[in-house]
Amino acid sequence: MKKYKAYAKVNIFLKITGVRGNYHEILSRFMRVKNLYDELSFVPKEETDAKMNTFKIIGDFSCTTEQNTIYKAYFALKEATGSEALEQLMHNYAIKVEKNIPAFAGLGGGSSDAATYLKMCNNALNLGLSLNELAKIGLQVGADVPFFIYGYESANVSGIGEVVEEFLEPLLDIEVYTPKIEISTPTVYKVYREDFFAPIDGFVAQELKDKNSLEVLASMSADEANDLFKPALQEYKDLKNHYKHGYYFSGSGSSFFKIKEIENG
């Protein structure tokens, strides 16, 4: 059975540009981590599972099926297409996930799994959905899903995650370190809004959009590059014990990453 790779990402930079209701608008450079990915495949269900006619995910997850982003992606795709073939597919097959990307880590593992699942269904069932249509469905599952739908190696992501613009640059050699600290993204954003709120202006945003990732990181410290680093440190005191010089912070954490090209340069 064919396996599909669901890659992790890091946020080279993540800046808040404003708010939209309860959401924060961002500008961020997402970059794929080429050596860290989950693998997804369809596997035939056992006869007893098929009779039960329930959506089945095989994999090492700490959440319930209903909380899983892949299940949410299935539900969103079913709502958008009304496809009976999709229901039949998931009646006969389970989705198997070989999980390598840590959860609660700022690496987009759940979003990448959801995006990969949507693309797998689109291909398997010849649904004929464009990447833009899939991204719109994916956005209902999570703000990072559109980036993974488009499959870019590097992109400027803005709005609440729905605006994804490819940024052409070499894929960097990224080393990721994830401490065992479960971080809540909503909590970090809440602390940011209460204690650190300082959106960047349009000129700074445009400058960041135009610079390549190596230039950005060479000119910024970890807390300058990511507006969520300080609020995460304030809320999760143990994080500071894991920070090492030369590393940057991805998303709302808890992962840190470094670029080997900077080390060698």
Q: How far apart are the first and last CA of the chain?
A: 42
Distance CA 234, CA 228 (A): 10
Instruction: Tally the C-alpha atoms within 13 A of residue 261's C-alpha that lie toward its C-beta.
Output: 10
Q: Determine the Cα–Cα distance for residues 230 and 191; give it in Å rounded to an integer.
A: 9
Three-state SS for 93? strand
CA distances from 20 to 26, 97, 205, 238 (A): 10, 34, 17, 31
Torsion angle of C-alpha atoms 104, 106, 110, 114, degrees rounded to 10: 160
Burial of 12 (0-12, 13-18, 19+ CB in 10 A): buried
- Catalytic residue list: 9, 144
Cα distances (angstroms) measured from residue 134 to each of 3, 30, 72, 232: 20, 19, 13, 32
Q: 22: burial class by Cβ within 10 Å (0-12, 13-18, 19+)?
A: exposed
Assess contact for 113 and 40: CB atoms under 8 A: yes
